[in-house]
Structure 1
C-alpha cells in the first residue's frame, strides 16, 4: 500500500467532497450503532432529545449531537464498572486494557477489541508514515509503557509499518543515550519535555548531540513541538527534523493528527477520526476555518468504546488550505495550543503555559526548563516565572548576566502576555526534570469553594 510518499495515496489525496461523503455515511452508521447497542449513548441522547435519524448532513451532526466529556466517562464507569455502559463488544473479545493517567483520581479504563486493535495498528502506521518513518528505521521509544496509550500505540504503529522498534521506555537517561548511539537509532518518539532533558544530559556527558544517529523526532503527549522555540531547540540540538503528532488517549488511534515533511502543522485524518473546531462556550457552533476553538473528536470506525463528539478540552484552529505534500487533509497549523483547563487567569488576563514557554525560548540566554508560580498577595494575584539560564552560557560576571536576562525576560513576557511577571533566573539543573509530561504550573492561590469562607 505504501509507495514511499503516502501510506495510502488514493485515500490521502482524494477530494474533500469524496472524503466527506464517506465521513457522513460512517457517522450515521456509528450513531445508529451506539444508540441501538450502548445504553450510555441511548440515555444521553434521549435526555437531550436527539435521535440518530436527525443527522442528514455534517452540519446536522455538529448542531444536533450532544458532546461527551471525560467526567461523564468516569461517572459512567463508576456506576457500571469496570468499563461503563459504552463497551461496544463482548468481554471475551477484549484484547487489551489501558487507561488514563488517573492524576485526578481513579483512571478511566480503555478496553480494545481484537478487531479494533488490528485497526488501530493500521492507523498508527499511517500517522507515523506521514511523519516520515520508513521501513529500515530504528525507532527508539522513550515513552512510558504503563496504562498510558502513548507508548503502546507508537509500538503498534512502528511494527505495522515495518520499521524496527526499540521500546526502551522512559527514564534512565544515560542508558537511553548510550543505547541510542550503540544501536544507531534513527527516529526518537517521546515527549518534547523528555527530549529536551535527554539533550541537556547528552551535552553534560560530552556527546555531540547534533551529530547523533537520529534523523527524525516525533513528539507526542503534550504541546511543545509546534512552538517555534522548542522546535528550534530540538532540531538544532539533535540535528533532526521535528514532527508533531497526537490527539488524546480516548481517541486511540491517537495518531490522526500527524505532521508531514512540509512541517506546516499536523494533518487531520478526517476519514478515521472526524475532528471539529467549535466555540468554547457552545459546542454546537462549528467555527470557520482559521478560528481558534475547542477540539471535538469522533471515532468513525472503532466499535469498542467509541467516542462520539468527545470534547477533548484542547484548543486549536484548523485550515483547509493546500499543503505542498499533496495530502488533502486539513491541518492544525499551530498544533494543539494546550488544554483549555490549563489556561490561567492572572489579574484578568488569560495565559497558557505554552505561551509563556514560547516567549522564554525566544529570549537568548534562557534554558529550556521553567515553572510558573502563582500566589495570592492581599487581594491580588502574584505571578513568578522561575527559569534556568542556558547551561551553554558561561559569562565572567554571572550576577550581571542574570540581572540583564531577568529584565529581558520580564519585558518579553509583559509584551506577549500583558502580565507583569516577577522573574527568577536559576542556575542550570535547578528545577526537577520530568520523564514524560512536564508540570509547568504551581498554583498556590486559595481555591474558591461555593458557600465556603
Structure 2
C-alpha cells in the first residue's frame, strides 16, 4: 500500500459534475463582471458586441453570447497600451510575483504579468496536476524545459516543489549530458516535449545508454501536440520503459498544467473548475459542438485576476468526453489531448490534413527513425505532398527491403488520409535533429505564390 494519498484534493477532484458546473457558472459570472468593470480591453470588446455580463445565466449562454479573444488582439492591445496591455489589472509593484513573456513575429515579446496571489494559486494547481500524473514527494524530477522569459519549465518546477518532490532543473543542456546526469542523479521523472523524448531514445542508442533500464518511471510531456496521440505516445513509452503523461494547455492560460493524464491513462483530465475549457465549431466560436465531436478549444480563467483570459482562442483542435475514468476523478477528458493546431492544417487536393495524423502513421512503422519531414509543393496546378522518413539504424543493419518499406508507407498514407502521398526513405541522420519543438512541415506553395 502506498504511503501517499490518492488525490491532491479529493473533494475537488471527485466532486459531482452537476455541483462543479454550478461552481463554474458562479465563477464565470464573477469574472465577467470583474473584467467588464475593471479592464478596458474587455469593456471595449463587449460593448462592440453589445454584450453585458448579466446576459450570462447558463453555461450555454457563456458559449453562445460571449465573444472570444485571440493572441493577435492581445498583442495589438499591448502595443497600444504598453507594457502589459489594458487587460492587466490595477496592481502595485509589490503585488506582482512574475513577469514572463513569449516571442512575437516582430521580435517584440508579449508580456505576462502574474500577481502574487495568482502565482501562489498556480503552484497548488500545478501540484494537483503532477500528483494526478503520479508524481510524489519521493520522486526526483529532471526538467529539460528552458528557464527563461518563457513560462516553459517554470510551471513544472513550481508544481514539483509544491508537492514536495526533489527538483533537478537541468534545463536545455546537451542531450548527452541529460542522459549522463539522469543516471548519475537517479532521476525518476523526466519533463520535456514529446519530440525531445523521442530524440533522446535514438541519442541513447547512439551513445550506448540503455534507456529501458534507467531510473525514469514517468515522462511529463508538453509544449506541443503528440503526448496523447497513440503512435508517438507508444513509441516514447516503449523506448523509455516509462509511462507518458501529457500535461499542458497554453502560455496565456497560466497555470497551464490544467489538462493532464492520470496514472490510469484513459485520457487527459480537464481541470475545468480552474480553467474552463469549451470545444466549439472551428468556424464559429459561439457554436458549441457535441461531446466526442472535434472542434476548437476555448479557454477561460475562472480565478486569475492579473491578465485574465476570458474565452481565449489558442488555435488548437481537440474533442471532449464525459466518460468516467477508473481513477475516480470526475472531470471531463480530452481522449487524445490536443490533436494539433488549426493553423497547421494542410489542404491538399481538397483533403484537410493535420501534421498529427501524419505523425501517427509514421510512428507505426517498425523501421522508421526519429525524424521525418513533410514537403508540400505544387506541380502545375496540382498540389503534391511528399513525406521524407528516416530509416532507423537497426532496420538498416537488418537490410530491410527499401521497396517494401516504401510500398507499406504509401499504402497506409493512402488508407488513412485518402490521398496519394509520395514517400522518400533516407538513412537515419539525414534530417536535422529535433532538440526542442519539432518543425516538420515545409509548405513550398507559399514560396511559389511569393515569387509570382
Q: TM-score, normalised by structure 2?
A: 0.96
Distance 1:193 1:123 in 2: 25
Distance 2:353 2:14 in 1: 38
Would the alpha carbon gap of residues 448 and 112 (structure 1) be closer, same or farther in structure 2, given more than 3 Å must change? Answer: farther
Output aligned runs, 1:13-412, within 5 Å. Answer: 13-92=14-93, 93-103=95-105, 105-395=107-397, 397=399, 401-412=401-412
Would the alpha carbon gap of residues 3 and 63 (structure 1) be closer, same or farther in structure 2, given more than 3 Å must change? Answer: farther
Note the C-alpha offset of 1:86: 0.4
Give secondary structure in 1 for the equivalent of 2:153.
helix
Deviations 1:54-107 (A, max 9, x none): 111111111111000111001101111111100024251222111224356433
Segment drifting more, 123-132 vs 430-439:
430-439
Note the C-alpha offset of 1:264: 1.2
Distance 2:344 2:305 in 1: 31
Note the C-alpha offset of 1:147: 2.1
Would the alpha carbon gap of residues 421 and 389 (structure 1) be closer, same or farther in structure 2, given more than 3 Å must change? Answer: same
What corresponds to 1:444 in structure 2?
A: 444
| Kept after mapping to 2: 8 A contact 1:12/1:327 | yes
Structure 2 unaligned residues grouped into runs of 5+: none
Give the aligned length: 449
Distance 1:174 1:221 in 2: 22
Segment drifting more, 438-447 vs 209-218:
438-447
Deviations 1:218-273 (A, max 9, x none): 11011112121211111111110111111011101011101111111110001101
Deviations 1:398-424 (A, max 9, x none): 6xx222211111111111111211111
| Kept after mapping to 1: 8 A contact 2:293/2:320 | yes
Would the alpha carbon gap of residues 188 and 106 (structure 1) be closer, same or farther in structure 2, given more than 3 Å must change? Answer: same
Q: TM-score, normalised by structure 1?
A: 0.96
| Kept after mapping to 2: 8 A contact 1:171/1:435 | no
Would the alpha carbon gap of residues 243 and 43 (structure 1) be closer, same or farther in structure 2, given more than 3 Å must change? Answer: same
Give secondary structure in 1 for the equivalent of 2:196.
helix
Deviations 1:326-348 (A, max 9, x none): 00000000111000001111111
Deviations 1:15-36 (A, max 9, x none): 0111011111111110111001
What corresponds to 1:425 in structure 2?
A: 425
| Kept after mapping to 1: 8 A contact 2:371/2:434 | no
Distance 1:131 1:396 in 2: 38
